[in-house]
Amino acid sequence: MARIPEFAVELLELLALVVGSGVASLIGIELERVGVAGLAGGDLAVGLWALAMGLVALYVGVVALGYEQVLPRIRALAGGS
Q: Which residues contact 73 (CB under 8 A, 6 or more apart)?
A: 10, 13, 14, 17
Q: What was the pLDDT predicted at 24?
A: 98
How confident is the model at residue 2, as a pLDDT? 76
- Rounded-to-10 torsion of CA 29, 34, 39, 40: 100
User: Which domain, by its residues, includes 67?
Assistant: 23-71
C-alpha to C-alpha distances, 29 to 9, 13, 50, nearest whole angstrom: 30, 24, 10
Q: Is residue 11 part of a domain?
A: no
29-77: per-residue pLDDT in tens? 999 999 999 999 999 999 999 999 999 999 999 999 999 999 999 999 8
Residue 5 lies in a domain: no
Q: For the residues 6-35, what does the mean pLDDT come to?
A: 95
- Does residue 33 belong to any structural domain of this protein? yes
Is the CB of residue 53 less than 8 Å from the CB of residue 20? no
In this prediction the pTM is 0.86
Q: Is residue 10 part of a domain?
A: no
In a domain, 1, yes or no: no
> Considering its fold, how many domains does the chain have in total?
1
* Residue 18 located in a structural domain: no
For 35, phi and psi rounded to 5 degrees?
-65, -45
Residue 60 located in a structural domain: yes
Is 9 domain-assigned? no
